[in-house]
Chain A
Amino acid sequence: MGTENVPTNLHIDNFIMQSTTLILILLVLMAVAFQLGCRRAYNLPGLGCICDLHSLPVYHGFYTAIWCGVPALLLLGVWSSVQTPIVINLLMDDLPVMMTAGLSQAELSLVLNDIRNLAYGNITSGEVSRELMAVADHYNQLQQTGLAVQSVMVILLALITTALGWRFISPELRARNKVESVLRWLLLISSTIAILCTLGIIFAVLFESVRFFEMVPLTDFLFGLQWSPQIAIRADQVGSSGAFGAIPLFAGTLLISFIAMLVAVPVGLMAAIYLSEYASQRLRTYAKPLLEILAGIPTVVYGFFAALIVAPMIRDSAAQFGVDASSESALAAGLVMGIMLIPFISSLSDDVINAVPQALRDASYALGATRSETIRQVVIPAALPGIVGGVLLAASRAIGETMIVVMAAGLSANLTANPLDSVTTVTVQIVTLLVGDQEFDSPKTLAAFALGLLLFLVTLVLNVIALRVVRKYREVYE
C-alpha cells in the first residue's frame, strides 16, 4: 500500500488540466461577451432611451454570455468523453497486422492495455517489443493531437456563437425571458442529480453484482453458511473458488445491530421522555446539546474508542467471571454503535413526543393520572408510529455502519449468537474485499458489490417504510 503502488495516470491528468484551463478561458470569454452584449444593447442604432428595450441591457449581456459559454462547454464535454474511444479505434486500424493476427477479443484488449500502460509510463505485463513501443508512442501522439484540436475547436466555437448572439441583440429581443428559461433549465438539471445519483448507485452496484452472480449462483450467496473469499489463491486448490455464503455475515450484522439497538432504544427513548416531559428548562438547555455532541462525532472516533477502550474492558471483565471473550467481541462493537445511536433515537423520539397534542395529556391528567401513567399509557402509544419509524431509521443506520465494525469487530465469519464471540459484518467484508488490490474479474472483488447491493436494498426498504410511517404520523397530528 505504498505511494509507488498508486498508478499516476498521466493521461487523465492531462485531460483534467486541459479541461480546467479551457473552462477558465471560457469564463474569461463569457465575461467579455457579457460586456459586449451590454454595450451593444446600450448603443443599438436608433435607440432613443433604454426603456425602448424589451429587457434591461444586463440581460442582453447575460444572453450573449450564454451564447458564448453553453455551446462551447457542451462541445468540451462531448469531446472529452469520446476522444479516447476514437483514438483507440484509430489505433486498432493502424496496428501492425502481425500484432493482431490470430488474437481473440480478450487477447486484443490485453495488448491494448499494455499499450496504454506503456504510454502512461507504467509497467506492462509482458516483454516490451520495439513495435509495441512505437504503437505506444503513436497512441500518445494521437491523444496529444486530439487535445490540441479540442482546445482550438472549443475556443473557435465560443467566438463564433458569441458573434451570433451579439448579432441577435435588438430592442425587441426578449433577452430576460430567454436568460430566465436557460436558468430554469439549469435549476431543473441540478434537481435531477439526486435521481441520477440513486440510479448511479443502482446501476454501478447491479452491474458488478450481475457479473458476480454469473460466477457464484444467487442461492449459494443468499443461503450458504460458509464465507471464506480469501481461500481463492490457486486454481488447483481445494475450494479454490472460495465460499461465498453470506448467511454468517447477515447473522453477524444482525447480532451487532441488535446489541446496538438494545443499548440505544431504551437509553435514547428514556432520555427523550425525561427531557421533554420532566426536565427543567435549565437541564434541557445543557443536557440536550451535550447529548447531541454524540451525534456529531465521526464514526472513526467511535471505532477507535471501541477498539482501544471498550473491547479490552469487556475482555477483562469477562475474564473476571472466568468467561472467555474475544478481543474483537460483537458486544464491544454493538455497545459503541449503540452509544452512537443514542442521540439519533432521542432526537427523533423527542420530535414525535412533542408532536403529541397537549390535549391528550390534559385529558389524562384531568382523570387524575400521574405523569408516568400519562406518558406510558397515553403519550407513548400515541407517538408509537413515529417512534417505530425512528427506530427503523436507526436500525438502517446500524446495519450500514462501517467504521465501528471495521475497527472493532473481527474478520472471521463465525455463525454464532454469543455476543462475546468475534463476528463479521457485511460492511466489514466490503471494506476488506475492496481495500488493497482489486481485480474486477475475480469473484472476490465482485462479491463486495453483491454485498453492497444487498446492503442498499435492505436499507432502502427500511428507510422507505420508516419515512412513510413518520410522514403518516405527522399528518395525523398536523
Chain B
Amino acid sequence: MIVERTAPAEEMFQVIHANFGSTVGDLTVAEPRMTARNVNVHYADKHAIIDVSLDIGCHEVIALIGPSGCGKSTFLRCLNRMNDTIESCRVSGEIRLDGQDIYDKNLDVVPLRARVGMVFQKPNPFPKSIYDNVAYGPRIHGLAESQTALDEMVEDSLRRAGLWDEVKDRLQQPGTGLSGGQQQRLCIARTIAVSPEVILMDEPCSALDPIATAKIEELIDELRQNFTIAIVTHSMQQAARVSQRTGYFHLGRLIEVGKTDEIFTNPQHKLTEDYITGRFG
C-alpha cells in the first residue's frame, strides 16, 4: 500500500529537486542564515544522515520532527560541528553559515560555536553557581571588558531567558539546585550570553513538565526577534506552536519541508502524513 502511493510522489519531486535528494517541498528560503547541501553522516558503518539539504532562514524558527533515531538530532549537531567530539563520526557535504563553509579545513570551531549555540535535551548546567554558569561563555571568549560589563551581560541574558526575577537573589547558589524548567532556561541564558546568531535546540522540553514547557516555548517565540532557531522536537504540537517552518525526517532522510501550517494541514508525502496523523512515531 505504502509503496503504491509513495512511488509517484517521489518520482515527481525527484524531477523538481534532482540536485537535492528526494525532499518534498521547498527547502530554500529567500534570506538564508545557514545552508546545508547533500549532507551525509556516517557513524562507523552506520549511515545516519542521507543526502540532506536544507536552508535555515534569518530570524525564523525551524522545527525538525520525526520518529526516534531518524537523524534529526544528528543533523542538528552537524550545524555547529558538535559531532566532532564523537570519534567514529564522519560528515560529508556542505554546510554554510552566512556563505562560509563551516566544514572548511581552515575554519576554527571555537568562533563557529560562539556563533551557533546549542541547548541540549537534558538540562546540563555546570556544577557552578548560577552566575558562573551564565558568565562562563563571556569569560572564555573575553567578551566583557570589566566586571560591571560582565554583570550586565549576565543580567541581560537571564532577563532574556525569563529567569532573572526567579534567581536574582540567589545568583551565587549552584545552578544544579534549580528546578528542571529553570535549569533549562539557565542553559538557554548561558547560550545567549555569547550572543550567537543561531541557536540549536535539541528537544529542549523533553525532560520538562507542561508548565515549564510552556514557558520555554514562550521564550523561543521571543528569542526569534534576535536569533535564528532550529529546534528538534518530538512533539508535533510544539512544532506547530513555535515554528514557522518544519522539516520531517525519516530514517536519515529529510522527507518533506515547508511552512509549518502547510505541513500540518496538508502534508504532501505519505510518510509525513502517516506521522502527523499518528500512525507511527
Decide yes or no whether B275 CB sits under 8 A from chain A: no
Stretch from A136-144, A363-371, A400-408 forming part of the interface with B: A363-371
Decide yes or no whether B6 CB sits under 8 A from chain A: no
Bitwise interface map of B from 183 to 201 toward A, beta carbon under 8 Å scored 1, else 0: 0000100110010000010
Stretch from B109-117, B213-221, B232-240, B252-260 forming part of the interface with A: B109-117
Q: Do B140 and A368 have beta carbons less than 8 Å apart? A: yes
CA distance A362 to B114 in the complex (A): 13
CA distance A365 to B200 in the complex (A): 13
Decide yes or no whether A40 CB sits under 8 A from chain B: no
Contact A368 to B112, CB < 8 A, known contacts A363-B120, A363-B124, A363-B126: yes
Interface centre among A365, A366, A367, A381 (most CB of B within 10 A): A366
Can you list 10 A-B contacts (CB < 8 A)? A360-B124, A360-B127, A363-B124, A363-B187, A363-B190, A366-B113, A366-B117, A367-B136, A367-B137, A378-B126
Q: Do B124 and A368 have beta carbons less than 8 Å apart? A: no
Decide yes or no whether A174 CB sits under 8 A from chain B: no
CA distance A336 to B137 in the complex (A): 42
| New A-B pairs, 7, CB < 8 Å, besides A357-B124, A377-B140 | A359-B120, A361-B85, A365-B85, A366-B117, A367-B117, A367-B136, A369-B110
Residue in chain A with minimal CB distance to B119: A366
Decide yes or no whether B82 CB sits under 8 A from chain A: yes
CA distance A281 to B82 in the complex (A): 20
Task: Say which residue of A360, A366, A378 sits within 8 Å of B82 (CB atoms).
Answer: A366
Q: Which residues of B contact A261 (CB under 8 A)?
A: none
Bitwise interface map of B from 73 to 89 toward A, beta carbon under 8 Å scored 1, else 0: 00000001010010100
CA distance A368 to B111 in the complex (A): 6
Decide yes or no whether B47 CB sits under 8 A from chain A: no
Interface residues of A in 317-364 (CB under 8 A from B): 357-364
Q: Do B140 and A369 have beta carbons less than 8 Å apart? A: yes
Residue in chain B with minimal CB distance to A358: B85
Q: Which residues of B contact A377 (CB under 8 A)?
A: 136, 140
Q: Which residues of B contact A368 (CB under 8 A)?
A: 109-114, 137, 140-141, 194
CA distance A367 to B137 in the complex (A): 6
CA distance A369 to B127 in the complex (A): 16
CA distance A6 to B184 in the complex (A): 74
Contact A362 to B110, CB < 8 A, known contacts A368-B137, A381-B126, A381-B127: no
Question: Min CB distance, B208 to chain A, in Å?
Answer: 15
Question: Min CB distance, A453 to chain B, in Å?
Answer: 39
Q: Which residues of A contact B140 (CB under 8 A)?
A: 367-370, 373, 377
Decide yes or no whether B122 CB sits under 8 A from chain A: yes
Question: Min CB distance, A105 to chain B, in Å?
Answer: 66
Decide yes or no whether B128 CB sits under 8 A from chain A: yes
Q: Do A367 and B124 have beta carbons less than 8 Å apart? A: no
Q: Which residues of B contact A364 (CB under 8 A)?
A: 126, 136
Q: Do B80 and A366 have beta carbons less than 8 Å apart? A: yes
Q: Which residues of A contact B112 (CB under 8 A)?
A: 368
Q: Do A367 and B82 have beta carbons less than 8 Å apart? A: no
Decide yes or no whether B118 CB sits under 8 A from chain A: yes
Count of A interface residues, CB-CB < 8 Å: 20
Contact A370 to B110, CB < 8 A, known contacts A360-B126, A381-B128: yes
Task: Say which residue of A365, A366, A373, A382 sits within 8 Å of B127 (CB atoms).
Answer: A382
CA distance A357 to B120 in the complex (A): 13
Residue in chain B with minimal CB distance to A281: B87
CA distance A458 to B117 in the complex (A): 50
Q: Which residues of B contact A365 (CB under 8 A)?
A: 82, 85, 113
Q: What 10 pairs between A and B have smallest CB-CB spacing?
A: A368-B113, A366-B118, A368-B114, A359-B124, A367-B137, A363-B124, A368-B110, A382-B127, A373-B140, A369-B140
Residue in chain B with minimal CB distance to A370: B110
Q: Do A367 and B191 have beta carbons less than 8 Å apart? A: yes
Contact A359 to B82, CB < 8 A, known contacts A366-B113, A367-B191: no
Q: Do A362 and B124 have beta carbons less than 8 Å apart? A: yes
Q: Which residues of A contact B122 (CB under 8 A)?
A: 359
CA distance A365 to B140 in the complex (A): 11
Q: Which residues of B contact A369 (CB under 8 A)?
A: 110, 113, 136-137, 140
Contact A366 to B126, CB < 8 A, known contacts A361-B85, A373-B140: no
Q: Which residues of B contact A357 (CB under 8 A)?
A: 124
Q: Which residues of B contact A381 (CB under 8 A)?
A: 126-128
Q: Which residues of B contact A378 (CB under 8 A)?
A: 126, 136
Residue in chain A with minimal CB distance to B137: A367
Question: Min CB distance, B158 to chain A, in Å?
Answer: 16
CA distance A361 to B82 in the complex (A): 11
Bitwise interface map of B from 137 to 150 toward A, beta carbon under 8 Å scored 1, else 0: 10011000000000
Q: Which residues of A contact B113 (CB under 8 A)?
A: 365-369
Bitwise interface map of A from 371 to 390 toward B, beta carbon under 8 Å scored 1, else 0: 00100011001100000000
Q: Which residues of B contact A367 (CB under 8 A)?
A: 113-114, 117, 136-137, 140, 190-191, 194
Contact A362 to B85, CB < 8 A, known contacts A367-B140, A373-B140: yes
Q: Do B111 and A366 have beta carbons less than 8 Å apart? A: no
Q: Which residues of A contact B109 (CB under 8 A)?
A: 368
Q: Which residues of A contact B110 (CB under 8 A)?
A: 368-370
Question: Min CB distance, B196 to chain A, in Å?
Answer: 9
Q: Which residues of B contact A359 (CB under 8 A)?
A: 120, 122, 124
Bitwise interface map of A from 428 to 455 toward B, beta carbon under 8 Å scored 1, else 0: 0000000000000000000000000000
Interface centre among A358, A359, A365 (most CB of B within 10 A): A365
Q: Which residues of A contact B82 (CB under 8 A)?
A: 362, 365-366
Residue in chain A with minimal CB distance to B111: A368
Q: Which residues of A contact B125 (CB under 8 A)?
A: 363
Q: Which residues of A contact B111 (CB under 8 A)?
A: 368
Interface residues of B in 85-117 (CB under 8 A from A): 85, 87, 109-114, 117
